[in-house]
Copies of this chain bind each other. A is one copy, B any other.
């Protein structure tokens, strides 16, 4: 799914804090592969070449690591999104076709997002509210693009923007799962491009 949340404070050190970066990268990978609960601090530490205590020196708690991993991924996605959707309206929508390629380049974080969306399903999960907001944000963003398209006369007036937005997001959410279960054989980028061609056909007069 698309990312659209939280401004993200950004590490102030600027340059070298490599160990912290390594930890976050390893965590992202493992969280995606084994789930949050299935990933132990020790496992993360091992991957970076530290001991548990070494990791806990940088992040004093496991949730801190989770948050950092999320933040980093969102930050990355946000940047890509902004330049992708800058034109607005139909043009922006047609550019979303590149989304498949983005996922293919970022499998670890994509996996983490899927896992999080599953772990947040229960209304009492600590991630539920967070994910709810994320979905709402993305939904609104797409609705906005469609309305903009209608205003510009690029998109037909009769379109149900809400339903279309849900449909697009659902397709993207669903297809990336199939990509993983196809052993990453499914031509994700092509499929998504095809989807958007068809979508634009339906949206334009």
Residues of A at the B interface (CB closer than 8 Å) are 32-35, 37-38, 111, 114-115, 117-125, 128, 131-132, 135-136, 139, 163, 166-167, 169-175, 177-178, 180-183, 186, 191, 194-195, 198, 202
Q: Find chain B residues with CB under 8 A from A194 CB.
A: 163
Task: Select which of B125, B139, B172, B183 is within 8 A of A123 by beta carbon.
Answer: B183
A-side binding surface: helix, strand, loop or mixed? helix
Count identical subunits in the complex.
4
Chain B residues with Cβ under 8 A from A132's Cβ? Answer: 181-183
A149 to B169, CA, bound (A): 28
Question: Is there contact, CB below 8 Å, between B177 and A171?
Answer: no
A186 touches which of B33, B125, B166, B198 (Cβ 8 Å): B166
- A135 vs chain B, min Cβ distance (A): 5
